Structure formats: structure tokens, C-alpha cells
């Protein structure tokens, strides 16, 4: 006979006990912020401009800074959860210092 399946959200004790390195946490959050900002920048370029409307000098720089700030803010509040997955993976599979 086969054993019953355990719920997907159950985490083995050894994996749950792993504590990520603070440097890994910071790096994974920065990566997620960069990824989110890249997605936001693509969306901003697609939807922000009105047809026939020109841009003012320096507007691309302000757009870039705004998407970077928004991406960082979203990632700092959990983002898509990518940073948590990366940090957890590194903690359980050998976080190299």
C-alpha cells in the first residue's frame, strides 16, 4: 500500500529550521526589486504615453528613477515572493559566503 500524500504547504523540519544569511536576503531583495522595476518600466513605456504627445527633456531619467523607486518599494513589502524563495533556497541548499 502507498502512504497518503502530505499537504503541499508542509515543510520538513530541517528546511523550516534553516535561517538565511542576511547578505543573501539583501541580495535576493535587490534582485527582485530590479526584476519588478524592469517589468514596470516595460509597462510604463507601453501605457504611459499618449498618442501624438511628445516628451520633455529629461523625462526618461525621471521615468527610470520612478520605476526603480516603485520596484524597490514593492519588493520591500514582499513583492512577488521571489526574494523569499531565493533566500530560502540558499539557506537550505548551501548558502555560500
Task: Please give the pLDDT value at position 17.
Answer: 60
> Which three-class secondary structure string do you get for 5-28?
CCCCCCCCHHHHCCCCCHHHHHHH
CB neighbours (10 Å) of residue 72? 18
pLDDT of residue 71: 86
Backbone angles phi, psi at 67, to 5 degrees: -70, -35
pLDDT for residue 65: 84
Q: Residue ranges of the domains in the chain?
A: 31-45+57-97
Predicted pLDDT of residue 16: 53
* pTM of the shown model: 0.64
Spans of the chain below 70 pLDDT = 1-17, 46, 48-56, 58, 95-97
Amino acid at each position: 500500500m502507498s502512504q497518503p500524500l502530505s499537504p503541499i504547504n508542509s515543510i520538513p523540519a530541517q528546511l523550516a529550521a534553516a535561517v538565511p544569511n542576511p547578505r543573501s536576503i539583501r541580495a535576493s531583495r535587490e534582485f527582485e526589486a530590479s526584476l519588478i522595476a524592469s517589468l514596470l518600466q516595460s509597462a510604463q513605456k507601453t501605457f504611459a504615453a499618449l498618442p501624438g504627445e511628445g516628451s520633455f527633456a529629461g523625462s526618461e531619467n525621471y521615468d527610470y528613477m520612478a520605476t526603480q523607486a516603485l520596484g524597490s518599494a514593492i519588493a520591500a513589502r514582499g513583492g512577488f515572493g521571489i526574494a523569499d524563495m531565493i533566500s530560502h533556497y540558499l539557506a537550505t541548499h548551501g548558502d555560500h559566503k
